Structure 1
Amino acid sequence: MNDISRKIEAILYSSKEPLKASEIAEYLNITNGEVIKAVNEISRNYENINSSLKIGQFGNQYKIKLREELVPVVEPFIEKEFTEKQLAMLSYIYKMSGEAISGNLRDNFGYNYKEDLDKLKKSGMVSARKYRNTHKYKVTIEFNRKFNINKRTLRAEEQ
């Protein structure tokens, strides 16, 4: 592998989120075409050595990821950002469109819901506002960004 490919591999490995070819190109002061050529070379190398890694492409973005068949092998070792209960809580709040109140969360997720809710608020996924003698919760713009929800996605869900 050439030096540019090695640098791009290191960038893709280190990035938390997928990156656009243009972002990598700008950072390394090279062309988009050189980035794409390097990504293809890295991908071929992974295939040739039967690596557990591969280049994931998400639209015009790239990220190094684990091959799907190996995910169950590493599952016990993966640090999860949110627990299943927290994801269920996020889903519930999202579906309620800003009308989720403390009592509903307690009824659906148990009396210890506040600990999980506090983590969701600290992570910027949920916001709260005082409402009568309780609080109303809604998902934030950060939630929409993280889970790639936009007006186009919402229109597709409605159809």
Structure 2
Amino acid sequence: MQEVRLATKVEAILYLKGQPLSLAEIAEYAHCDLSQVQEAIIELMSDYAHRDSALEVVETPKGYSLQLRTCFEHLMTHLVPAELGTGALRTLAAIALKTPILQTDLINLRGSSAYQQVQELVELGFVRKRRQSEGRSYWLEVTDKFHQYFEIDQLSQLQD
């Protein structure tokens, strides 16, 4: 197996966490020391600065973050419903692609924060919960509102 550059590993960590992380947090996830993480962050910031990318690595008061460049924020208002955060959108996407999915399977896939996200998605009318006939979990599936809101006729379009 090919050795992965630390900067690439840091990029994956920032993407997967989806929130600003301190150097110490990144070092813990990457299993390396702070000076290595600092070098990797500088390398990553330089990589993004020199390529034509919609993303950038920035330092925020809470830490380092992989985010959409500000010049593309206008797309957010047209493509992403304002009332849904990134985590809820990822949870909704998982439900849409695997519908119906057991809530326990979704939690294994997305983590415990998905409980709150599912509740939010149910309240917004994008997801329906049905009690399992045998067992304690719920079946989760997208609703007609999901299809109308995202203008998707069939989920097979998502998988093409």
TM-score, L = length of structure 1: 0.47
TM-score, L = length of structure 2: 0.47
Structure whose alpha-carbon radius of gyration is higher: 1
